[in-house]
Structure 1
């Protein structure tokens, strides 16, 4: 699964996405709940509401305490990831937040089927919304399910590049960062609401 703003930058082998018949993925939990206080400080966003809806379903159905440590402390994870995952499993017993990379997301068809059978009513309700609403769910429901099920190959790949383009200098910096960069497999360049009309014209032309 990938959004229309993601670009494949380098040749990529199959085992970047799937290994041993499982999607390559990682668990990076956070101890900060994106609740009312968080949204008061950061601003309310429907996307955050939707991800919280996903987590509420997963926390009610899957128990992080059942996951083996190999999924929570792989050598590719940062020390912060390992500590947060340990606390989430052994102290909190649930997940407040799961980190994401903005790059193509591998899934198994079996996961899509299993989640749809489990949460068909919620998915049907969300799909009926023409525009995003606070009671939505996102495709990350599938991801959270295979993470909490241990149905993934643990590896955290830091191989993406994301930059918001606010003007000409940002565009030039992105070109500089990406030119000849063999570590970046995917990149995403987004326009920004702070871009003024003159900069927009210059960048596009």
Structure 2
């Protein structure tokens, strides 16, 4: 297996007039949370995503930047570590254009030249302090928490909760939970999880997997696992790809993470990061997390309900500028 590690990230410019016009031409009459503006708006901080990687994870082999076709104005496309991936490079033209992140995600293993080991990032997750390869892979295996959880609805009408339920339905179709626990006992019950081992202990009563803990942070993957899942579930993954907007019937990228955990193809390790959802009241908490570099990874999750987007955006970006003031080689 190739020891190189690539990063993959999806990006969209929600202000691109051409993209907006095309998206609106496909918007159904009954609008849903899946097509709200906050799902696509740009926080104008992608340059800090690249700066964080260059400063704190310089060992990365290549960054695959997946896009509708537009690019950030700052981006140096001549950088040898950068590969621009258009949706048409990985998705059949019959399904394009697509505005469904799940549809794009499940196809990223088709990126030409993608290494056997890769890490998938959302564009709202940043490396803010030094990381090593072993934060993502150990002994050739992707790092993950082999921890179950009981699935609950997020209650806002969004499709994401349905995606996770669909994912676990596929997992239970292919894996016998109790047999896998016996085969991989020390991966499901591990001293690194500490008190969180109670999760799996309390859910042993259930015959099937009830769901897996998801830190909503960058995920380490083995490409061969994606190929296996596509072979086994091509119809459902193709169905996901066919939906232009998120659908309750989609799978998403976590089907591949769950498959790795259920099959035992992972190294037990907690993800070194934190997720914060932006609100009108927690700006100081977010900027403190960045400036004090409290974690290796920080996900800043957008929120449709924040009242002063520009103020919050500028304050967060000022915090990033304090720890990442210098241009990266990915900038013009």
Q: The TM-score by the shorter chain falls in which range?
A: 0.7 to 0.9
1:189 aligns with 2:305: no
Answer yes or no: is the 8 Å Cα contact 1:162–1:188 preserved in 2: yes
Which structure is richer in relative contact order (CA contacts within 8 A, separation 6 or more)?
A: 1
Decide which structure has greater helix share.
1
Which residue of the partner structure matches residue 76 of structure 1?
192
Match of 2:300, SS state, is: strand
Match of 1:66, SS state, is: helix
Match of 1:97, SS state, is: coil
Which residue of the partner structure matches residue 12 of structure 1?
131
CA deviation map 1:63-120 (0-9, x unaligned): 12122210111111142x323313434x212111211112110000111111111111
Give the Å deviation of 1:163.
2.1
User: 1:27, 1:112 → 2: CA distance?
Assistant: 18
Residues 43 and 165 of structure 1, relative CA distance in 2, 3 Å threshold? closer
Range moving further from structure 2, 15-24 or 184-193 = 184-193
Answer yes or no: is the 8 Å Cα contact 2:145–2:269 preserved in 1: yes
Alignment of 1:60-75 (within 5 A): 60-67=173-180, 68-75=184-191
Which residue of the partner structure matches residue 171 of structure 1?
283
Give the Å deviation of 1:162.
2.3
Alignment of 1:37-56 (within 5 A): 38=153, 42-56=155-169
Residues 121 and 175 of structure 1, relative CA distance in 2, 3 Å threshold? same
Which residue of the partner structure matches residue 144 of structure 2?
25
Q: Report which of the two structures shows the higher radius of gyration computed on alpha carbons.
A: 2
The one of 171, 193, 197 equivalent to 1:58 is: 171
Give the Å deviation of 1:194.
2.3
User: 1:171, 1:112 → 2: CA distance?
Assistant: 37
Give the Å deviation of 1:156.
1.6
Residues 19 and 133 of structure 1, relative CA distance in 2, 3 Å threshold? same
Residues 201 and 143 of structure 1, relative CA distance in 2, 3 Å threshold? closer
Which residue of the partner structure matches residue 113 of structure 1?
227
> 5+ residue gaps in structure 2?
1-119, 315-332
> 5+ residue gaps in structure 1?
none
User: 1:26, 1:165 → 2: CA distance?
Assistant: 25
Match of 1:106, SS state, is: strand
TM-score (norm 1): 0.85
Residues 127 and 7 of structure 1, relative CA distance in 2, 3 Å threshold? same
Residues 73 and 195 of structure 1, relative CA distance in 2, 3 Å threshold? same
Match of 1:112, SS state, is: helix
TM-score (norm 2): 0.54
CA deviation map 1:27-77 (0-9, x unaligned): 2212x343xxx57xx354311111101101110111121222101111111
Which residue of the partner structure matches residue 206 of structure 2?
92
CA RMSD of aligned residues (A): 1.9
Give the Å deviation of 1:161.
2.4
User: 1:45, 1:166 → 2: CA distance?
Assistant: 18
